[in-house]
Structure formats: C-alpha cells, structure tokens
Chain A
Amino acid sequence: MPKPIIEKDRCKGCELCISACPEKVLALSQEINAKGYFFPVIVQPDACTGCRYCLIMCPDTAIQVENKGKTTARSVALTQKPFSYCPGCTHGVIHRLVAEAIEGLGVQDRTVGIAPVGCSVLAYEFFACDMQQASHGRAMAVATGIKRGRPDLTVFTYQGDGDLASIGMAETVHAANRGEKITVIFVNNAIYGMTGGQMAPTTLPGQVASTCPTGRDVKLAGYPIRVVELLKELKTPAYLTRVSVHDPKAILAAKKSIRKAFEYQLKGTCFSLVEVLSTCPTNWGQTPKEACDWLKDNMIPYYPIREFKIPEAEEGDAHVQ
C-alpha cells in the first residue's frame, strides 16, 4: 500500500497537504510538534493511491511517499535546514522545484545561485550549491559577473517581485537584453513579504497593502507590471514563461518549465526566465488554502500562465548565438 511519510518537526501546520489530498487520507493531529504547530496525521491509510499530491503541495518538504517498496527522497540539492518561510508560503515549493532541476540535470557541483533581498534573502542557506547574496535588485548584475567570468558554471538568480521588478528593473531589462546565459527564477506574490506587506510593482488593482491601505489605486500607482510580457518585447531573451504553484497540477507544470529553463542554459541558449506566481498568506491575511485559491481566481486572470517565448520558435534568428 502506498503511504505518506510525515516528518512532523519540519511541518508548519499549513494544511495544504490535507486540502491537496483527493482521497482525504490526512487530517490535522491533536498534538503540536516541536515548533508549536499541529501537523498532519494519516486517518484513512487504505485510501492512499500514491498520487504524491501531499508531497507536491508541501512547502516545507515535510512529506515523502512510500510506494511499491520505494520511497521518495528530499532533493540533495537542498540543505537539511528547515525553510524560514511563513506557514503555507509557496516559496518552499519553488525551492524544491529548483533543487530538483539542479539535481536532475546533474549540475549541483557546478551551479552558483544568487540570493536576493526579500523573503528569499536566506536562500543561500537552503540550496546545497555555491551561493552569493546580492544587494537589493542587483542579482542579475551579480549573475552576469559570475557567468562572464566562468561561462562553464550554471548560474541562476532567485528573486521576488520587489527585487526583480521594482528596484532591480534596470538590471532585469539589461541582463535580459544582453542575453546573459543565466536562469532567472522570478517569484511573484504581488506583495513585499519580508518588510511586512507593502505594495509591490505586481500588486493587483484594488489589492490592499500596507502602503496602499485603501487598495492599489491605478491612477496613483499605475497598473501592475507584467514582467514576462514586458521582456517579450525584447529581441534577445530566449525562454520566457509564467507558471504557478497554487495546486499540484500547476506545480507539476512549473517543475517542467523550471527544468527547461536550466536546460536552455546548459545548451548555451541565452537568457531564460520563469515567472512563478506564488502566495503570501501572512501579508494577504489569508489561510494558506485561501491564498492558493485567491491566486488562482485573481492573479492568473491578470498574469496568464503560458510560455511567452521559446528558443525553438526563433531558431536561426540573429539573437541565438
């Protein structure tokens, strides 16, 4: 029989695994773990089909799945350190996908990642590869320096919406336009998380944030920036796509895109960027499940999920070196 294996002390009690399970195998425990959270326990062991949705949805890599004598394992491209993110924050899911891509492509020992300023500032503690921490918004400039100096390395940046699309917009546009052979993971959760919920360049019209207490007024702040659409207008960048991590199916699709973005870099194709729509339950003032639903209902209509630019479509074009 397949069954989930729960590492309870990694759990932050976000309950996303419980809502993701189509067979209602899991429920919340009555006791708290070492961190003070209620964690999931198996209440219907016979119902488990081994679909792994719990594992896929878990933002804290607290669940593995045993099936037919095999057990899934946490990616070796992640350190053992528990993520510092709030309960239910999907940064953890995106970390896992990036790590799995790095591990899957066998480049862990020749990868350098760049951590930004924002919630994922501590990313250097979570990826088990060489990492550099950059000043706010400058991750792609730092990545440029690394890649130009050592073209054999696989270089990625991991940036939030404030870092990439506000303070770092100049670096973003120019790194993309120069066609830096780097992979950019752009996490868009429509808010400044680390500093406590201020308006981001991607905050939706009418969305409340601590510096737009009556909701984003497009007459004063303009409309949210669609980064991928903006970069698409440049001739140079090779792979531009937008994905989401609000449910297991979306996450599986996101995983493919992230892997592709790294593959293009390994092939020597130029600049690749994956925008990942992500949640911020804490600063949106929602439960983790509500936040996933809010993302689906509000963000995806404004930020459509699809590939905007793929290298194959423009093969032979001047920009491909």
Chain B
Amino acid sequence: MAKKLMKGCEAIGEAAIQAGCRLFFGYPITPQNEIPEYMSARLPQVGGTFVQAESEVAAINMLYGAAGAGCRAFTSSSSPGISLMMEGISYIAGAELPVVLVNIMRGGPGLGGILPSQSDYFQATKGGGHGDYRLLVLAPSTVQEAADLMIDAFDMADQYRNPVMILGDGLIGQMMEPVEFKRGIKPEDLPHKSWATTGAKGRKPNIINSLHLNPEELERHNWDLYKKYQQMQKEVRHDTYNTGENVDVLIVAYGTVARIARTAIDSLTPKGHKVGLFRPITLYPFPSEALIAAAQKAKKVLVAELSTGQMVEDVRSHIAHLRPVDFYGRAGGMVMGAEELADRVEKLIAG
C-alpha cells in the first residue's frame, strides 16, 4: 500500500481495520473524535459495526462483552473519558480479556482542557482502576508508529489476554504525517479463542468473570496475573537517538516530547554539546535495563514530560543511584518548544 497523508487518529482507526478488528464502541470527546468518525464511515465498508455508545461507561462494557465473545474490538477516548472507563478496565483486566484502548491525552485534572498532555502516565502504567492489575502501555511518537503499534496491540492483547493501551496525546492524534500499512490481517485468519463465550456447543460452558469470593482462589488469581505481567516484560521496547558515545546529557522522553527532544538535540550538536535521547516505547513494561545502560554513558539525565512529573518517578527508581536526574515539564496543554528544551539542556550542562 502506498504512503498516505493521514491524521494520527485516522491512522489509528485504519490500523485497527488492518488488524482485523471489526468492532468499535466509543463516545465523542476532543481531541480524538476523528477516531469514532473514521470508524463510523470505514467499518460498514468492511462488514464491521460501529456503535456510538451513550457514555464511556457503556462503551467499555460493550468492549467487555465483545472481547468476552472472542471478537477483536477497541475503544478510544481522551483523558476524562478514560477515567470514566476505569471500572470497566479493571473488570476487563480481572476477567483477562484482550482489548485495545486508545487514550489521546489532554490536560487535566477534571474537565481540564483539550490540548496535548502526558498527565495520564500514572493512570495508564500503575493500574488506574481498582485492584492489582497492569495494562500493556504503548507510546507512539509518530503517526506511522501509532499505526504500527495499533496493529501490534491487538496481537499482544490476544497473546496475553490483557488490555493494551495506546497512550498518545492531542498532538499525535491531530497531526498528519505520511503513513503506510505494511501488515493486513483478515478477521477469518485470527486464532480461535477457546475460552470465549461463543456458545457451548460440544463443550462445557465458558464463563467470563472477575468475581472470586474465595480469598485463596482470588489470591491465586492475583499471583497468576502477576506472573503474566512478569512475562510481559519481554515486550519492552525503546528507541535511542544520538546515544552512540558518551553524552553530556541524556534526555528521557516519550511520545510527542521525544520528537521535540530530537529537534533540540539537532540544534545542540553543532554547538559541540553531546546530547542523546532515550525514548521508552513501552511505558509498561518499562525498559529499565536499556535505560540503565544508556544512563551509564551519560553524565546527567533530564526527563522531559508534558506533566508536572510522572514518568520521572520511574526513571528515578531505576537510575537515581547512578546519575543525577533532572526534570523539565510543561502542563495543562502547553507544549514545550524545541528551543526551550535545548535551553534547559544547556543550563544543565553548564550548571
């Protein structure tokens, strides 16, 4: 397929189609409306179904039902809507259902604003809803990567029977870039899900459930989930830029901010500054070993985020004993400029 110029939201929608997903449930919220809009036009063309739910609460439970019935399905929303889905996400994690969730983050808390933000990192990576569970969290930084990760997300969800979240922000969702769909999956080629509620013909009934009243049984379930999350560690992914040699400063950033960091690095290199970028692609599991290796080649580390400091806590937990970790954040929908970030790096080098 030739390259097309697409908005991030549209590319995410098309990637779901390419992943063999034929079901979408969602509710309008800015800045991700182009996803449901795209799906409402595109799904009927491929024999799929689009449902505009009456709320995010309904959407996530539609997803629970569809995934429990063995269908590939996804929903998308933005921060306040994702908060509303948290109860359902916890049930989905508890019942071990494979679903894909897209959060195109905006500023919060509360109704907040509609401009790009990365302030849902804690919510995405630490659980978000109640109970001892984790999502697999993927953070694209280009439209192409959003599309690629979206397709991977469906496979990972099926493989681990776990919810997978694509964590983007308003900039990733609204920006247009060339995108190419390299991999197409036909729904009929997807593996059979023996655990799904597809009708108990010729087998004993399947039950989709997250209730375990017997504490021994629930504890066993919790440790089984834990083991699964440990297995998910092998999915860690990251990217680096300009980290071939020892650097003065290693910037750690994900998604949109990682791109801004690239531009900042390009402006610092001609000045003789050695600055590298470490970009986690999986936020959970966090690529800690690779980060430690990269940090050891850096004099100082700067974490940059569109929040008042969330991922920085994970970075510090892994490398605070090795290197000084500084933080630079913008919040509330304010996006840092490349020059602003470069200034901060220069100050750090000087100071």
Interface residues of A (CB under 8 A from B): 117, 121, 133, 135-137, 162, 166-167, 169, 192, 194-196, 198-199, 201, 210-213, 220-221
Contacts and interface: CB of A to CB of B under 8 A. Distances in A.
A195 B30 contact: yes
Interface stretch (B47-55, B91-99, B282-290, B310-318): B47-55
A198 B41 contact: no
Given A121-B111, A166-B27, A211-B40, 9 more contacts: A135-B80, A166-B54, A167-B57, A192-B28, A194-B30, A198-B36, A198-B37, A210-B40, A213-B40
Contacts of A169: 54
Interface centre among B41, B55, B110 (most CB of A within 10 A): B55
A15 to B, nearest CB: 29
B208 interface: no
B90 interface: no
A221 B52 contact: yes
B33 A196 contact: yes
Contacts of A210: 33, 37, 40
A166 B41 contact: no
Interface in B178-205: none
Nearest to B36: A211
Interface of B: 27-30, 33, 36-37, 40-41, 49-52, 54-57, 80, 84, 110-111
A201 B54 contact: yes
Contacts of A212: 40, 52
Given A121-B111, A169-B54, A213-B41, A136 B33 contact: no
A195 B36 CA distance: 12
Contacts of A195: 28-30, 33
A6 B36 CA distance: 42
A201 B30 CA distance: 18
B40 A162 contact: no
A195 B31 CA distance: 8
Contacts, number: 53
Contact of B111 (A135, A166, A198, A211): A135
A195 B29 CA distance: 6
Contacts of A201: 54
B154 to A, nearest CB: 22
Contacts of A166: 27, 54-55
A135 B110 contact: yes
Contacts of B49: 220
B292 to A, nearest CB: 41
B111 A117 contact: yes
Nearest to A165: B54
17 contacts: A117-B111, A135-B80, A135-B111, A137-B55, A166-B54, A166-B55, A167-B55, A167-B56, A192-B28, A195-B29, A196-B33, A199-B52, A201-B54, A210-B33, A210-B37, A210-B40, A213-B40
A85 B346 CA distance: 45
Contacts of A117: 111
Contacts of B111: 117, 121, 133, 135
Given A117-B111, A133-B111, A198-B28, A211 B52 contact: yes
Contacts of B28: 162, 192, 195-196, 198, 211
A167 B30 contact: no
A212 B36 CA distance: 10
A135 B40 CA distance: 26
B114 to A, nearest CB: 9
Nearest to B30: A195
A133 B112 CA distance: 12
Contacts of B30: 194-196
A136 B49 CA distance: 26
Interface centre among A162, A211, A220 (most CB of B within 10 A): A211
B57 to A, nearest CB: 8
A126 to B, nearest CB: 17
Contacts of B50: 211
Given A117-B111, A135-B110, A167 B33 contact: no
Contacts of A162: 28
Nearest to B32: A195
A201 B52 CA distance: 10
A86 to B, nearest CB: 15
A192 B57 CA distance: 18
Nearest to A134: B111
A211 B37 CA distance: 5
Interface centre among B28, B36, B41, B56 (most CB of A within 10 A): B28
Nearest to A166: B54
A211 B43 CA distance: 11
Contacts of A136: 55, 80, 84
A127 B283 CA distance: 44
Given A135-B111, A195-B29, A195-B30, A167 B40 contact: no
A198 B33 contact: yes
A137 to B, nearest CB: 7
Query: What 7 pairs between A and B have smallest CB-CB spacing?
Result: A167-B55, A195-B28, A211-B40, A198-B28, A166-B54, A210-B37, A213-B41
A137 B84 CA distance: 12
A215 to B, nearest CB: 12
A211 B54 CA distance: 13
A178 to B, nearest CB: 21
Contacts of A192: 28
A117 B111 CA distance: 8
A222 to B, nearest CB: 11
A198 B27 CA distance: 9
B72 to A, nearest CB: 20
A133 B36 CA distance: 26
B52 A198 contact: yes
Nearest to B50: A211
A167 to B, nearest CB: 4
Nearest to A192: B28
A220 B80 CA distance: 27
A201 B53 CA distance: 10
Nearest to A168: B55
Contacts of A221: 52
Contacts of B54: 166-167, 169, 201
